[in-house]
Amino acid sequence: MEVVLHLPVVPNVELVAAKAVETLGSALGMHQTHVEAASVAMVEACLNAMEHGGGTVTVRLREEINASRPCLLIEVEDHGQGFDPATAPKNSPSGVLGRSSKRGWGLTLIRELMDEVQIQSTPGKTLVSMRKYVESAP
Amino acid sequence: MNEERIKVSRDLMSDGVGLIAAAGYINNEGGQAIADAATELMGQGCKTLLIDLDGTRIINSIGVSILLEILEKLMDEKGTLAFCSLTPTISKTFEIMGLVQYATVYPDREAAQAAIIGDPSV
């Protein structure tokens, strides 16, 4: 099974991608809680791609049933300026109150909610690859 | 799951305690709708707010950042914020973003009412 979406930058289009996660994750027999976690990660990845990519966002979802741990693979690709994942901000809950800006949580949420995350970014192309195991720990 | 438009209602649970029920996508618009309801209840003298998210299954970090701003305003007024009926993923998101360090989380509205005003039958 594979789903490919080309998302225009319009309000709430990230929910289309989240719906695809819900549909494919459920078909794979993933627990509802894991499907919802992957959906939130998908939403954050799409929002980042739309904010920084500056154009159509490509989303691919597919099952990896022959992997050592069967999973749902999600890829989100944009064509913006790119960034260095190693120096991207890692937010922490301590001291969150009082900050003038409370934004910038997307990558932190993605890393916490998914089982594997890989980011490849060069000027002109950023690819966020995320895996959620079908049999994730609760 | 992917209901776009959030439905927000507000009510007074008891003297000084406000209830906000929100069902739908908590993004910037959904978060702002909750913030508007919170501002109105605080204007009516509420220093304790309970936000019931029964019916909300998907959120984003922008929406949660607005909830953090509500928390800040309440704490400035020596008030308190509580949530109930969170899905496990929303609960984890609140934990990651630090919201649960400062707000109380109850499993459902009945438990929240019992703890806040001591009357689970309201």
CATH number at residue B94: 3.30.750.24
Is the confidence at residue B122, as pLDDT, over 60?
A: no
In a domain, B2, yes or no: no
The CA distance from B18 to A3, in Å, is 44
Asked if the Cβ–Cβ distance from B1 to A98 is below 8 Å, we say no
Interface of A with B (CB under 8 A): 12, 14-15, 18-19, 22, 33, 36-37, 39-40, 43-44, 47, 91-94, 96-98, 102-103, 105-106, 108-109, 112-113, 138
Domain interval for residue B63: 7-107
In a domain, B41, yes or no: yes
Distances from the Cα of A117 to the Cα of A11, A70, A85, B25, B65, angstroms: 26, 15, 11, 25, 23
Q: What is the overall mean pLDDT for chain B?
A: 93
Is the confidence at residue A88, as pLDDT, over 90?
A: no
Asked if the Cβ–Cβ distance from A109 to B101 is below 8 Å, we say no
Q: Give the closest-approach CA distance of A81 to chain B in angstroms.
A: 22
In a domain, B31, yes or no: yes
In a domain, B119, yes or no: no
Taking the Cβ of residue B80 and every Cβ of chain A, the question of whether any pair is shorter than 8 Å is answered with no
Distances from the Cα of A114 to the Cα of A46, A134, B108, B117, angstroms: 15, 11, 27, 38
- Going by C-alpha positions, the residue among A86, A63, A100, A114 that lies closest to residue B92 is A114
* Model pTM score: 0.92
Asked if the Cβ–Cβ distance from B92 to A43 is below 8 Å, we say no
Taking the Cβ of residue B4 and every Cβ of chain A, the question of whether any pair is shorter than 8 Å is answered with yes
The conformational region for residue B78 under phi > 0 = left, psi -120 to 50 = alpha, else beta, is: left
Choose the weakest-confidence range: A21-25, A34-38, A132-136, B108-112. Answer: A132-136
Q: Convert the pLDDT of each residue in B32-64 to its tens digit.
A: 999 999 999 999 999 999 999 999 999 999 999
Give the pLDDT of residue B68. Answer: 94
**Domains defined for chain A, CATH in brackets:** 2-95+103-133 (3.30.565.10)
Residues 13-72 of B with CB under 8 A from A: 25, 27, 57-62, 64-65, 68-69, 71-72
Q: How confident is the model at residue B1 (pLDDT cuts 50, 70, 90)?
A: very low
Q: Convert the pLDDT of each residue in A7-17 to its tens digit.
A: 999 999 999 99
The CA distance from B92 to A112, in Å, is 9
